[in-house]
Structure 1
């Protein structure tokens, strides 16, 4: 058996470099996990802060729009109440005009305020004492009041006025109420229009970032106002089929992150309804603005963490390399300590340890255990003829022959001392041991003759075997093998003898 096949009896069962690798890997994973958790928490914090800010902006818009719509509603209610007074028919047109539109001066960004009869004809106009002829029966607000008997206020779709005036291209919406008799009969409509530049001025007073938008849509998904405009001529256009608008109209209020279907940019949408009006305010903050500070922080922290983890792994690699070199050196030293320096097989110390180990294993398992004692015949005379160098070479050759014929990993070939060798054969009975011994004897006998010798080199072998039927100790087992060896010597050498 060569030195590479020697059993290891070191008390170390683990590799320290493996523990270093495991520890550093777990540390890196823990660092990355903690940093990832903190970055995710900071991302959520940035989103929450932006949502609160957007919610505040939406509430400011809601409050202003509610006040403005309330003023228009008061104007309409005053117009309806005055129109139903019978005594106004007796006064002059100027006084009648003042009474009808006395509340209209409080409405901001007002356009025309009209009183229409049940056919849509103009009965009174806030801008003229004598109203211009006109019919508005085709307007959506008029049709809505004809078919709906409710007395609530109606907000129209955006439209442009029917006139050749200078503001004919200016978008407007109208607020209207139904005029009915005491019996519910439809008598006409009071309508007040508002220029949508109101929303432009309102939005301009609020700063939300360079790439964010403010929007107001109605319940049909029609855009009433936007800052800045993402599409040309988008006012009055329906966005009801866009996924983000569908979600906004369905949920009514809330916040979510999504990609704009118009420009494809990531935005944080915060939205809410304006009181009980069919209007929704949408604050769409740019993802770049919301998370710009977080991205800078994440970049710095990620870079520092990456450098730290790489440095830790590099230091761990260096330490592992040193530990591995140390482990290899210890293994080599242990191998040298377990190997006979001349023959390369196990030395006497390993023989004793292995024999004791196999003895106790055989006691537990009940399997037989055999020991061979092998001695080179006439070695003293051979050594005298060829010198110590020749004798050493002969011992190395014999050791190689013995190891070549003992092939099982559990078996052991060792130098017992001088020209004597020992072989431990685990789980091998006397018959098996004799077969191996004969193979060794024949292999040695067939070695080429040394120059100057007439006879080949030979060995004598003694065998002892322990079984459950024998009542011997470990020392007695060795003594029996040694005794059988001497019997082989006395019987003429170059033979195998099994001890009794």
Structure 2
């Protein structure tokens, strides 16, 4: 049986440790970026954008909810209107059917007029909004008027309901456009009509019932569609039968060429947003074509009513978000400036603490850190490293003879010259102390260090410095300590070993007559002297 737990291999442990170390470094770098001036300001901006995004999404969802509620309410109102119209027209249709059936019965028609009318129009008497029933013969002549307003024999052959029924096939209930009846009470009506058919199916006349437009008006006025909303009853030919709010001037208007009506005719029911042709307001139209009838009902709440509360909330929440974002961005900007000021102050303090004020080079403290860092990198990567110590020859005598001001000028000139000779970005020059300078040369063996040292020595020797007594030249002596891993893989225990070796090499160069370069040896610290 295999063991479930096995010891981790050295390679696996090294990989895991390296991964963890890389993750820590990444997290540290990320934290420094976030806490930097730019990072703080960016975080503030991102926080503001995030809050605005979340707030905007919430407001958008509220708008969608308001739209859904408006559609649902409109659909409920539409169902109420549909149910009422369908039920009443069905009742009126039954009344017309009874009249058509009675007219076709010779026994009924043979009765005295008063008794005959009572039988024929018994059901119609209970229909409050059915404003009279008329019976026309096959030529359009009036036979019977339930109200007695029109005289028998009047010609209605040119009336829309008679013409439609004469052309129609079957016994369908047809609805006319709104009109004012010739023998009515002055109220606009629509005509509901049924054909009278003989036993052989031939056309024998028409039974028409006048349904008052007031019925639709009263029905729609019972709806609550908002201050700017509308509701309408429209025939499928585009004729406006009734509209809320009621306006007698628009009753009977032809809407067949209006875009919103074209959308309504595209399906039996649905929802869309459009601009009303009558009042020019944008509305949410919920419509349905009534089954078996040539009537369309729509309920259209206005967008400004639907979104009124939402718009007020948008204004309030938007003001809060703008204020919040302005505060966050302002605070982030102020904090960013404060952090930048502190970072600049710290940088200046660091420069002051690690820069030699006279020469502008790194000072002894900075040099020690650089040398330590480069030595560790060389040990880690098994790469060569060299260190130079440069000393100005007979500087004390110059300083005592010409004064400290001239001595300072010599130090500055020499510092600038040897720094220019260290050409690589990784080569660092520092003032080591007094008239002594130091340079670290990573990835440089003894031969390379010798070339750099000779370049420095020759460049300083070529300087011409003006002194009170005339042009003056100075020289330097250079000690080199180079270290490359040997066959046994040995390295100095600390960087101080390299510094001591370079110091011994410098002492040897001085003792040999100055203006020389001496390369130290790791075993006996002796090697040729170059001048």
Bin the TM-score by the shorter chain.
0.7 to 0.9
The answer (yes or no) to whether the contact 1:145–1:189 under 8 Å persists in 2 is yes
Say if 1:142 and 1:189, in contact at 8 Å, map to a contact too.
yes
SS of equivalent residue, structure 2 residue 58: helix
Instruction: Find the aligned partners of 1:130 and 1:422 in 2 and give their Cα distance.
Output: 128
- Cα separation, partners in 2 of 1:438 and 1:180, compared to 1, 3 Å: same
In the alignment, structure 1 residue 72 sits paired with structure 2 residue 92: yes
Between the aligned partners of 2:90 and 2:484, the Cα distance in structure 1 is 111
Distance 1:50 1:454, change over 3 A: closer
**What is the alpha-carbon root mean square deviation over aligned residues?**
3.0
Deviates more, 1:425-434 or 1:283-292: 425-434
Cα offset for 1:65?
2.2
Q: Deviations over 1:449-493 (max 9, x none)?
A: 422478522111122333355865244443443333223222321
The answer to whether residue 419 in structure 2 is matched with residue 398 in structure 1 is no
The answer to whether the aligner puts 1:210 opposite 2:230 as a matched pair is: no
* Range with bigger deviation, 466-475 or 414-423: 466-475
Deviations 1:224-271 (A, max 9, x none): 1123368x9543333234332233233433433333344432212222
Match of 1:424 in 2: 440
| 1:327 alignment partner, SS class | helix
| Cα distance, 1:124 vs structure 2 | 1.9
The residue aligned with 1:4 is none
How far apart, in 1, do the equivalents of 2:322 and 2:384 lie? 61
Query: Which position in structure 2 is the counterpart of 1:248?
Result: 264
Task: State the number of aligned residues.
Answer: 486
Q: What is the CA distance between 1:128 and its match in structure 2?
A: 2.7
- Quote the residue 2:357 is aligned against: 341
Q: 1:488 to 1:261 in 2, by over 3 A?
A: farther
Are the counterparts in 2 of residues 214 and 284 from structure 1 also a CA contact under 8 Å?
yes
2:300 to 284, 289, 299: 284
Deviation at 1:19, TM superposition (A): 4.0
Considering Cα pairs closer than 8 Å and 6+ residues apart, tell me whether 1 or 2 has the greater RCO: 1
Contact 2:481 2:502 survives alignment (8 Å): yes
Q: Quick check: 1:32–1:305 contact (8 Å CA) kept in 2? A: yes
In the other structure, the counterpart of 2:428 is: 412
Rounded to whole Å, the distance in 2 between the matches of 1:12 and 1:398 is: 40
Q: Which aligned pairs between 1:43-58 and structure 2 lie closer than 5 A?
A: 43-58=63-78
SS at match of 2:68: helix
Given candidates 370, 375, 378, the residue that maps to 2:391 is 375
Structure 1 match to 2:211: 194
Measure the CA separation in 1 of the matches of 2:478 and 2:371: 18
Residues 472/194 of structure 1: CA separation in 2 closer, same or farther (3 Å cut)? closer
Structure 1 position 350 matched with structure 2 position 370: no
Task: Provide TM-score, normalisation by structure 2.
Answer: 0.82
1:462 pairs with 2:479: yes
Distance in 2, matches of 1:199 and 1:63, equals 13
- Determine whether 1:37 maps to 2:57: yes
Q: Identify the range of structure 1 (331-340 vs 23-32) with the bigger mean alpha-carbon deviation.
A: 23-32
Q: Distance in 2 between matches of 1:268 and 1:12?
A: 56
Aligned residue for 2:304, secondary structure, equals helix
Which residue of structure 1 lines up, in the alignment, with residue 317 of structure 2?
A: 301
CA 1:358/1:460 → structure 2, altered by over 3 Å: closer, same or farther?
Answer: same
Contact 2:465–2:471 (Cα < 8 Å) also in 1: no
* CA deviation vs aligned residue, 1:85-129 (integer Å, no higher than 9, x gap): 221343333333333223332233434522122333322222339
| Unpaired runs of at least 5, structure 2 | 1-26, 521-526
Residue of structure 2 in register with 1:271 after alignment: 287
3-state SS, counterpart of residue 150 of structure 1: coil
Partner of 1:156: 176
Worse-matched range after superposition: 294-303 or 39-48: 39-48
SS in 1 for 2:266: helix
- Change over 3 Å in CA distance of 1:131–1:79 after alignment to 2: farther
